[in-house]
Chains A and B, each alone.
Chain A
Amino acid sequence: MVMAGESQFHVLAVDDSIIDRKIIQTLLKTLSYQVTTVDSGAKALEFLGLHQDDTTNPNTPSPPNNHQEVEVNLVITDYCMPGMTGYDLLKKIKESSLRNMPVVIMSSENVPSRITRCLEEGAEEFFLKPVRLSDLSKLRPLMLKTKLKDQNQKQEEKAAFQSPKLQQVEQKQQPSNDDKGKAIDEGLSPEKKN
């Protein structure tokens, strides 16, 4: 279900295999996502506006998109890549100002300890390759959840900086956050049934 005025979700896919990149790109486009593919973790970090050494300050505040030219809503990455593995990339993202970015790992090998490690490091999902369309339909709720979290966060930050007088006026005009949250949840539930 696409709400009116909602822009397309943008997925960044990372895989060193040219065949897998083409397949995942086509799969994601079939789901109406905007897709960018890169062939390495280093290029992924570059695209996200992160530098390789940009990940050491956990106190960096997050509105998450102050580095990026283009907003990315989710990163899906292969695990086994030369240089930086998908796990390394996951770690770097989670230690950066983009720590709220949903990251999904793909792997051709079913190694339980690997799966656990990735999930513990903050990966939202772990897909076994070959990845199916049905796997990728799990991505929308992840991106939606983060987008809503960001919107609420932005609203809170905005309210914190407003003058008390303005705050009073706005509170009279807008419904409370609770009501808004409820309405959105109701909107989401038909999707969950799918």
Chain B
Amino acid sequence: MDRNRLQHQVACMRRSLFDQGYLDEPFIQLEELQDDANPNFVQEIVTLFYTDSARLIQNIEHALNSRPIDFDKLDDYMHQFKGSSSSIGAKKVTNECTVFREYCSAENAEGCIRSFQQVKQEYAILRRKLEVYLQMVRQAAVSRTA
């Protein structure tokens, strides 16, 4: 496809990610840090985020399945997850993490289990959208102007 067209699509998708609240200001900082010295910076950070999140999700699931539930440990994992999602500007994921931590400090197991489903859902949605978006960015970068 024509480069201008692709770039336009990229710009539209990018704007909607921000308008719909999936991404926030810290993501812009990541984009700004990408340059000739760090040409794949955004993808590198996002990939790190996927790996780190997978680890934390597994840990949280394990902790939620243990009896009795160790709420301190749970909070610790979720604190880490919230931290990294906040660092990349993953707004909705970060907000769900906050909800989870509220149930956690109230030692509300059911609330934790429910809100964890929300966290996982938001994470999955964001991941899908980011993968599509970054794929489009790559395509636009290697495309030619018609």
- Residue from A19, A23, A29, A132 in contact with B52 in the complex, judged by beta carbons closer than 8 Å: A19
CA–CA, A108 to B80, complex, Å? 10
Q: Which residues of A contact B89 (CB under 8 A)?
A: 130
Residues A18 and B48 in contact, CB atoms below 8 Å apart: yes
Asked whether A129 is an interface residue with its Cβ less than 8 Å from the other chain, the reply is yes
Q: How many A-B residue pairs have CB under 8 A?
A: 48
Residues B52 and A27 in contact, CB atoms below 8 Å apart: no
CA–CA, A143 to B81, complex, Å? 32
CA–CA, A108 to B86, complex, Å? 9
Q: Which residue of B lies closest to A21 (CB)?
A: B48
Given A18-B48, A18-B52, A23 and B38 contact (CB-CB distance below 8 Å)? no
Q: Which chain A residues numbered 13 to 27 have a C-beta less than 8 Å away from chain B? A: 17-20, 22-23, 26-27
Q: Which residues of A contact B76 (CB under 8 A)?
A: 82
The smallest C-beta distance from A114 to any residue of chain B, in angstroms, reads: 14
Q: Which residue of A lies closest to B85 (CB)?
A: A19
Asked whether B33 is an interface residue with its Cβ less than 8 Å from the other chain, the reply is yes
Given A26-B33, A130-B26, A130-B29, A19 and B87 contact (CB-CB distance below 8 Å)? yes
Asked whether A144 is an interface residue with its Cβ less than 8 Å from the other chain, the reply is no
Given A130-B26, A130-B29, A132-B29, A23 and B79 contact (CB-CB distance below 8 Å)? no
CA–CA, A148 to B130, complex, Å? 47
Contact bitstring B81-96, A, C-beta under 8 A = 1, else 0 = 0111011110000000
**Chain B, interface size: which category?**
20 to 34
Q: Which residue of A lies closest to B53 (CB)?
A: A19
Q: Which residues of B contact A19 (CB under 8 A)?
A: 45, 48-49, 52, 84, 87-88
Q: Which residues of B contact A184 (CB under 8 A)?
A: none
Contact bitstring B17-46, A, C-beta under 8 A = 1, else 0 = 000000001100110110001100100110
CA–CA, A23 to B29, complex, Å? 10
- Residue from B32, B38, B49, B86 in contact with A130 in the complex, judged by beta carbons closer than 8 Å: B86
- Can you offer 19 A-B residue contacts whose CB atoms are under 8 A? A17-B52, A17-B87, A19-B45, A19-B48, A19-B49, A19-B87, A22-B44, A23-B45, A23-B87, A26-B41, A27-B33, A29-B37, A80-B79, A82-B76, A108-B86, A129-B83, A130-B25, A130-B29, A130-B89
Query: Assuming A18-B48, A27-B33, A80-B79, what are 20 further A-B pairs, CB within 8 angstroms?
Result: A17-B80, A17-B83, A17-B84, A17-B87, A18-B52, A19-B48, A19-B49, A19-B84, A19-B87, A20-B87, A22-B45, A22-B48, A23-B30, A23-B45, A23-B87, A26-B41, A29-B37, A108-B86, A130-B86, A130-B87
B→A interface (CB under 8 Å): 25-26, 29-30, 32-33, 37-38, 41, 44-45, 48-49, 52, 76, 79-80, 82-84, 86-89
A→B interface (CB under 8 Å): 17-20, 22-23, 26-27, 29-30, 80, 82, 108, 129-130, 132-133
